[in-house]
Structure 1
Amino acid sequence: MKVVIIGGAGGIGSSVAFNLLLGTATHDIVLVDTRPAMLTSHTMDLENAVALGTAPSTVRGGTPDDALDADIVVLSAAVPLRLNTSRSVFLTDNARIVGEILAPLGKSRFTGTVLVLTNPVDPLLTWVYRNEWVARERLVGYTLNDSLRLRTGIAQALRVHPLTVDAWMLGEHGEGQVPLYSRVTVDGEPATLDDEQRAAVTTYVNTWYQRHVALDSGRTSTWTTGRGAARMIDAMATESGTVFPASVVPDGEYGISEVSIGLPVVLGRTGIDHIVEWELTADEKRGMTDAAARVDSACAQLVSSTASR
């Protein structure tokens, strides 16, 4: 599969490329970035990493035109990270970047899938969908890190290894996230957290972003996002049937339409194969509805701010 990574010279973009090269699926990876020297540096380095992989993948530098015939476009371009308390502060600035990249695809014969890593991912995807630049079934947003942090928090509270924990975070990638405590398992068996344990998990998950940004390191979740996005792309290439949490625009699933939020999905070579519908508790259903309303409101504000320019 031809995978074009826009923002490929950044930490996340290059991490995605590295993890793809070490995966089992074969990809033609094209890095695109506005920083030519950094782009060449990463390309030269990654060319040598190809020999460490298990599949005959390739990597090269390219231009935005490479996206026109890509199977998957990974969008990780964004404004530089700065001190903040919510991803929402980047909405307007990152919308400009996303629009400059995806609007031309909407005017072309592009038939690939777009995997958006740029934040805040839910209102951005909703905005892209409503602009009709990319079809619903070919528009996927990365939200896996929320579920990974939930699994880490649960593992710490229960004093087990994160590999043994299966837990899911749906809803908004941010303040409107919805943890599915009703589906937590450890070693494949249902697990229940008491009030104290759940409070510890909630604190860990709800403060992770603020604690990390407060370090003022200038970097985002490079390794986790790179690894997670590569696994999603490999799942598309191999049509493995693996279920991932991802921001997608449902068509009535979970009682939600026309708004992109985190849902469990199966991915295929042409994008979203299907959305998996689970039974949720009343509180979880309410959380999903509230998350959709938050995203819809953020998208409306974005439309208003861009129209006034």
Structure 2
Amino acid sequence: MVKVSIFGSTGTIGKNVAFTLAREDTVDEIVMVARPESLDKVKGETYDMYDALAARDIDCRLTPTCNFHDIEGSAIVLISAGIPREKGMKRLDLAVPNAKIVAYYSRQVAKYAPDAIILVATNPVDVMTTIALEASKFDKMKVFGVGNHLDSLRLKNYFSRHININSSEVHTRVVGEHGDHMVPLLSSTTIGGIPLKYFVEYVDLDITGLVERLKNAGNTIISKKGATEYGPAYAISNLISTIITDTHKVLTVSCYLDGEIENVEDVSLGVPAVISKRGLEMIVPIHMNDIEKRNFMKAAETVREATYEVKEHMNM
């Protein structure tokens, strides 16, 4: 029996992840944890989801609760609880209030589901990944964040739509911070097996414009509809399904680094990693050109500094 628990289940991301996962029919039980004052709301969400799942003959169990004991036996615990980002707000503006929430829930996971993998979605996700790791005291291979997985999917989609080519032909990746200091690895991007630097000779491709669009994607969506939901929910569900099915995919998630990439240490950043039911099987080495390397180091410096400030504020 596969059990997944979600902290932040009444939020836009949490409830969408729960529904997306349930529809995939790979999870036996989804525990939707809420604060006592939000329990009725999460119950209402489960009733609505059950009505939809009945049309697909899916029997996934949805458990609304405010009792931490109910997460016992979870294979994965998603932490998506926190203050949502609003229009014009940078992810790092959320750091201190959300760190308190993430640290608290991480300690509950350590107490009630010590064998679980913690997946962090709360922003700023790179900072929160380190907070969850240190608060839970888990092995670093069992705690990681959504990182640049969604950014990588967005970039893949941009290339696919702009060139009018099937997305399966686009192989690209974004690393670094999930934020202003993200680093698209354009030097290793291929389209139909052709390196991007050769492909751009044959199509009208504004690389600079695409990268700027990528960096502003979240704010653009928030400015138009108030929140991002489908993209993050499907990206997170994809990560969870990869863990459950033990498919050993290489996905770009936020990992705590101990020198594996460019000797960067003591910070969590988005890097490619092999994902399995045991968590992070390995962090995959990457090749970067000089510009990408400088930007990656800048991302490390920025996120590390923000993480130190948050930890100092919380006396961690």
Give the partner amino acid of 1:36: L
Give the partner amino acid of 1:78: G
Alignment of 1:44-63 (within 5 A): 44-51=47-54, 57-62=60-65, 63=67
Between stretches 136-145 and 54-63, larger displacement belongs to 54-63
Q: Distance between the aligned counterparts of 2:95 and 2:152, measured in 1?
A: 22
DSSP-derived class of the 1:134 partner: coil
CA offset digits 1:19-70 (Å, max 9, x no partner): 1122252331111112112101111122234445587532221233323431
Q: Distance between the aligned counterparts of 2:56 and 2:275, measured in 1?
A: 23
TM-score (norm 2): 0.88
Q: 1:260 aligns with which of 254, 268, 276?
A: 268
Alignment of 1:91-102 (within 5 A): 91-102=95-106
Equivalent in the alignment of 2:180: 175
Equivalent in the alignment of 2:130: 126
TM-score (norm 1): 0.90
DSSP-derived class of the 1:300 partner: helix
Give the partner amino acid of 1:152: N
C-alpha contact (below 8 Å) 2:103/2:131 kept by paired residues: no
Equivalent in the alignment of 2:116: 112
Equivalent in the alignment of 1:283: 291
Give the partner amino acid of 1:281: N
Change (3 A) 1:41 1:265: same
Equivalent in the alignment of 1:7: 8
Q: Distance between the aligned counterparts of 1:244 and 1:55, measured in 2?
A: 28
Equivalent in the alignment of 1:36: 39
Equivalent in the alignment of 2:27: 26
Q: Does structure 1 residue 238 correspond to structure 2 residue 245?
A: yes
Q: Distance between the aligned counterparts of 1:141 and 1:101, measured in 2?
A: 15
Change (3 A) 1:213 1:165: same
Query: What is the RMSD of the two structures over their aligned residues, measured on CA atoms?
Result: 2.3
Q: 2:142 aligns with which of 138, 141, 151?
A: 138
Give the share of equivalent positions with the same residue, in percent.
26
C-alpha contact (below 8 Å) 1:50/1:58 kept by paired residues: no
DSSP-derived class of the 1:74 partner: strand
Unaligned runs of 5+ in 2: none
DSSP-derived class of the 1:265 partner: strand
Q: 1:206 aligns with which of 199, 204, 215?
A: 215
C-alpha contact (below 8 Å) 1:2/1:30 kept by paired residues: yes
Number of corresponding residues: 306
